[in-house]
Amino acid sequence: MTSTDAAAVAALKRDNAQYLWHPMAHPQAMQKAKPDIIARGEGCWIWDVDGHRMLDGVGGLWAANLGHSNKAVRDAIVAQLDELPFYNVFRGTTHPRAIELSKRIVQTMEPDGVTAVFFSNGGSDAVEGALKLARQYWKLKGQADRHKFIALRQGYHGVHFGGMSVNGNLNFRRAYEPLLPGCFHVDTPWLYRNPYTQDLEELGEICATLLEREILFQGPDTVAAFIAEPIQGAGGVIVPPPNYWPRVREICDKYGVLLIADEVVTGFGRGGAMFGTRLWNVKADLWCLAKGISSGYVPLGATAIGAKVAEAFMDDPTGQAAVGHGYTYSAHPVAAAAALATLDQIEALDVPGNAARVGAHFQARARPFAERFSFVGDVRGMGLMLGIEMVADKATRATLPRGNPVAAKVAQAAYRRGLMVRISGPNLILSPPLVITREEVDFMVDALEGAFAEVE
Ligand code: PLP
């Protein structure tokens, strides 16, 4: 590095602390925390401005599923910029990529019962679209009282007012209350931390019953939808028992409640199947999609619409079925081109299959950490998503104090070993690109093991 480079890097670091407010961070914290400035990416690897090379255990943020240098996606983006960088899809106009992508998503999700799709700019938008379509659905059905939403504790559904109101984590809610009225939460089937049982199947049944009891308590004719992630991501990678989602679907059907699957993380292969709902053999009524849809190369969100919901809009006798929702950048041509190329690549590279195969190796290698290290309470995950929960006391499962000093030390030790990890509360979360190889997984686990051993 030349002295000019060093000066430019120092200026970037200084300007970051001075001008850039980061999501989920105190503005002043950045002056002390000195976030890593990522300058370049290739495959599953990233380099920071200091030239330090790391395996991207974060996948950008559960997003860069094809790695950082997929040429087909890059070429599609460039070609689209040459052809038509932007046009809108409000009622008077549309464009070829929007049409092609909508058809492609519907065809891909045909086995799930999807018949149409509504585009937006990211995961929070996709959630907002689903919540609004669910409410409108019930108005069209003549049941305007069905306006409530039920969600899971620990769930994460983005940051807009609707999504925030169904979020199950106080940290994302508190500063912005009062939130949307009519949003209620029930317990997540979380084996490691629940007051009910350590039997997985029994837990699935109990938590499904809690949902049913809440629907009955609220009055089924007031509940619009239940929203949940097929595997909770940001909440700490909480994998539900296999019987949970099928029971949830039964209960939603019994009381006519719509089921919204927030697949922003699990969509497009991360859990080892193309969609998280497929892992549980369940069809939702609305799906929230983002991140992996375009491999994160260009922001894009989508709300996939199942036949039942779509039909209510198509058959509307009231004339009130116009979707009064949308964004200037809905189905942005560059994002749509990126998504079309991403979907081609997902198929060509069998990305969900790789996540299942390499993911099984990843899970098997990481699980023993729970026995091996004194501060690792639980290791859980599926496919290429892994959460490692750190505790103050393994025997009592006592939580670490806020700020999690242990995880910060592990993250620094991992960095020195060439691995980027993410800390979220007490959890260390790994969500590498889905094209990762078995050898790269071994590198990742070895680096993590070394980091844990150093901190132990
Ligand atoms: N839903 C889930 C399950 C997510 O994990 C996220 C983001 O991580 C969102 C919604 C919000 O997506 P975005 O950050 O793109 O708005």
For residues 116 and 130, state if they share a domain. yes
Q: Which of 227, 132, 146 is nearest to 182 (CA)?
A: 146
184 burial via Cβ count (<10 Å: 0-12, 13-18, 19+):
middle
Domain boundary among 314, 348, 382: 348
Tell me the mean pLDDT in the region 179-204.
98
- Report the complex ipTM: 0.99
| Pocket of ligand 1 contains residue 237 by CB under 6 Å | no
pLDDT classification of 403: cutoffs 50, 70, 90: confident
Q: How far is the CA of 11 from the centre of ligand 1 (A)?
A: 31
| Residue 13 belongs to some domain of the structure | no
For residues 185 and 295, state if they share a domain. yes
Is the pLDDT score of 1 beyond 70? no
User: Cα torsion at 343, 346, 347, 352 (round to 10°)?
Assistant: -130
| Residue 408 belongs to some domain of the structure | yes
User: 156, 232, 266, 288: which to mutate for ligand 1, most atoms within 8 A of CB?
Assistant: 156
For residues 85 and 185, state if they share a domain. yes
Residue 194 to residues 75, 246, 389, Cα–Cα distance (Å): 48, 20, 15
Q: How far is the CA of 265 from the centre of ligand 1 (A)?
A: 7
pLDDT classification of 402: cutoffs 50, 70, 90: confident
| Pocket of ligand 1 contains residue 299 by CB under 6 Å | no
Tell me the mean pLDDT in the region 182-209.
98
Range of the domain at 56: 36-66+351-455
| Residue 18 belongs to some domain of the structure | no
Per the structure, the count of domains in the chain is 2
Domain boundary among 331, 348, 365: 348
* CA dist., res. 100 & res. 80, Å (int): 13
pLDDT classification of 303: cutoffs 50, 70, 90: very high
Q: How far is the CA of 105 from the centre of ligand 1 (A)?
A: 19
For residues 357 and 308, state if they share a domain. no
Q: Which two tokens stand for residue 42?
A: 């290739």
* CA dist., res. 306 & res. 252, Å (int): 15
| Residue 58 belongs to some domain of the structure | yes
Residue nearest to atom 13 of ligand 1 (CA): 123
Q: How far is the CA of 73 from the centre of ligand 1 (A)?
A: 22
Tell me the mean pLDDT in the region 269-296.
98
The fraction of the chain above a pLDDT of 90, given in percent, is 90
For residues 151 and 253, state if they share a domain. yes
For residues 196 and 175, state if they share a domain. yes
Q: Give the model confidence (pLDDT) of 250-276 as tens digits.
A: 999 999 999 999 999 999 999 999 999
Q: Sheet holding 301-306: strands in order across?
A: 114-120, 301-306, 286-289, 258-262, 223-228, 148-152, 183-186
Q: Which of 318, 338, 320 is nearest to 329 (CA)?
A: 338
| Residue 451 belongs to some domain of the structure | yes
Residue nearest to atom 1 of ligand 1 (CA): 157
Residue 318 pLDDT: 80
Q: Give the model confidence (pLDDT) of 35-79 as tens digits.
A: 899 999 999 999 999 999 999 999 999 999 999 999 999 999 999
| Pocket of ligand 1 contains residue 263 by CB under 6 Å | no
Q: Give the model confidence (pLDDT) of 332-350 as tens digits.
A: 999 999 999 999 999 999 9
Residue 29 pLDDT: 78
Please give the backbone phi and psi of residue 368, each rounded to the nearest 5 degrees, phi first.
Answer: -60, -15
For residues 41 and 127, state if they share a domain. no
**What is the phi-psi region of residue 181: left when phi exceeds 0, alpha when psi lies from -120 to 50, beta otherwise?**
beta
| Residue 17 belongs to some domain of the structure | no
Query: For residue 294, what is the domain's CATH number?
Result: 3.40.640.10
* CA dist., res. 16 & res. 35, Å (int): 9
The span from the first CA to the last CA of the chain, in angstroms, equals 34
For residues 173 and 200, state if they share a domain. yes
Q: How far is the CA of 156 from the centre of ligand 1 (A)?
A: 7
Atom of ligand 1 nearest to the CA of 61: 8
* CA dist., res. 118 & res. 184, Å (int): 26
Residue 2 pLDDT: 66
Q: Are 407 and 443 in contact (CB under 8 A)?
A: no
Largest pairwise CA distance in the chain: 71
| β-sheet bridge partners, residue 385 | 382
Please give the backbone phi and psi of residue 397, each rounded to the nearest 5 degrees, phi first.
Answer: 60, 25
Q: Are 435 and 67 in contact (CB under 8 A)?
A: yes
Rounded to the nearest integer, the mean pLDDT of the chain is 96
For residues 59 and 95, state if they share a domain. no
Q: How far is the CA of 124 from the centre of ligand 1 (A)?
A: 6
Q: How far is the CA of 128 from the centre of ligand 1 (A)?
A: 11
For residues 255 and 360, state if they share a domain. no
| Residue 28 belongs to some domain of the structure | no
Write a three-state SS string for the chain.
CCHHHHHHHHHHHHHHHHHCCCCCCCCCHHHHHCCCCEEEEECCEEEECCCCEEEECCHHHHCCCCCCCCHHHHHHHHHHHHHCCCCCCCCCCCCHHHHHHHHHHHHHCHHHCEEEEEEECCHHHHHHHHHHHHHHHHHHCCCCCCCEEEEECCCCCCCCHHHHHHCCCHHHCHHHCCCCCCEEEECCCCCCCCCCCCCHHHHHHHHHHHHHHHHHHHCHHHEEEEEECCCECCCCCECCCCCHHHHHHHHHHHHCCEEEEECCCCCCCCCCCCCHHHHCCCCCCEEEECHHHHCCCCCCEEEEEEHHHHHHHHCCCCCCCCCCCCCCCCCCHHHHHHHHHHHHHHHHCCHHHHHHHHHHHHHHHHCCHHHHCCCEEEEEEECCEEEEEEEEECCCCEECCCCCHHHHHHHHHHHHCCEECEEECCEEEECCCCCCCHHHHHHHHHHHHHHHHHHC
| β-sheet bridge partners, residue 387 | 380, 429
Domain boundary among 288, 313, 348: 348
Residue 334 pLDDT: 98
Residue nearest to atom 14 of ligand 1 (CA): 123
For residues 54 and 113, state if they share a domain. no
Residue with tokens 């990529």: 97
| Residue 2 belongs to some domain of the structure | no
For residues 394 and 303, state if they share a domain. no
Query: For residue 437, what is the domain's CATH number?
Result: 3.90.1150.10
